[in-house]
Every structure is written in C-alpha cells, then in structure tokens.
Amino acid sequence: MTDNKCLDVNMTTCFYCGEANGIAIGKKLISCENKWDTKKIFGGYEPCTKCQEKFEEGFLIMECQDEPVSEGQPEMQSGVYPTGSHWVVKNEAAAEVFNEDIAKGGKVFVDKEFAERIGLYDEKVSK
C-alpha cells in the first residue's frame, strides 16, 4: 500500500468579519486521506476587501488590549492585541471625541473600558 501525500491547503479568514479571504498552503505534505480536512486559520490583520471598504466609510475604532486574547495571538504592533471588536463611526463623531490629530488619522486603538465609556457597547450603536 502506498502512502500518497497531498498539499496541506487551508482557508485564511478575515480577522474582522471571519469570512474566508484566501488560502494558505502548508510547508509539509499530509496524507491524502486528510486532504478535505481543511481548517480556517488566521490570515493576519489585513482586512478583506469588504471590510476595507467599510473601514473607508468613516473613522475606525478598534478595541485592543495589551496581552493576547488567545494563546499564540500575534501582536498587531508592539504591545497591541486586537480583541475583534471594532466600530466605524462618522468622521464628524470621531472629531467630537478625539483630538484633531487622532481624528485625522482615520483610526484609533481603545481599550474596552474606553469603548464602553463613549457608548460603543450601547445596543443602538452596535447594530
């Protein structure tokens, strides 16, 4: 009996919406018996086209914390781990909450406490 080997191909997902946005091919061959056993894997923090378009509609607020949300989560930048919660608000609303330099930047990282304090977890805002 021959042990046939196949490429280990998996789907990468958008961190923000969870939809498939690419493929990842593993470095090792796997048994062909498992070739349909694909997994969804983290594909990085680059948004998919749909999310990028949504982000460009306004000001992006991303909830982050200073330690990984789950084991092995990579940093987005030094000491910044996104939780997955994010909101796109009108630029005018961002200008009322954040200083001018931050508002011009197009996005900001906040912790959960700050997001709650400015009302982002209110039911009306989250829908």
- State whether 23 and 75 are in the same domain: no
- Parent domain of 24: 5-42
Q: Do the domain assignments include residue 48?
A: no
- State whether 26 and 70 are in the same domain: no
- State whether 106 and 79 are in the same domain: yes
- State whether 31 and 76 are in the same domain: no
Strand runs labelled E in 36-118: 40-42, 59-65, 81-89, 107-110
Asked if 59 and 91 touch (Cβ cutoff 8 Å), the reply is yes
pLDDT given at position 23? 74
pLDDT digits (tens, 9 = 90+) for 38-74: 566 778 899 999 999 999 999 999 999 999 999 989 9
pLDDT given at position 124? 56
- Listed in sequence order, the residues at least 6 apart from 87 whose beta carbon sits closer than 8 Å to its beta carbon are 60, 61, 115, 120, 125, 126
Mean pLDDT of the chain: 84
Q: pTM of the full predicted structure?
A: 0.77
Q: Do the domain assignments include residue 49?
A: no
- State whether 61 and 119 are in the same domain: yes
- State whether 37 and 73 are in the same domain: no
Q: Do the domain assignments include residue 52?
A: no
Length of the chain: 127
Q: Which residues of the chain have pLDDT under 50?
A: 1, 126-127
3-state secondary structure at position 114 = helix
Q: What are the helix and strand counts (H, E) for the chain?
A: 5, 6
Domain count, the chain: 2
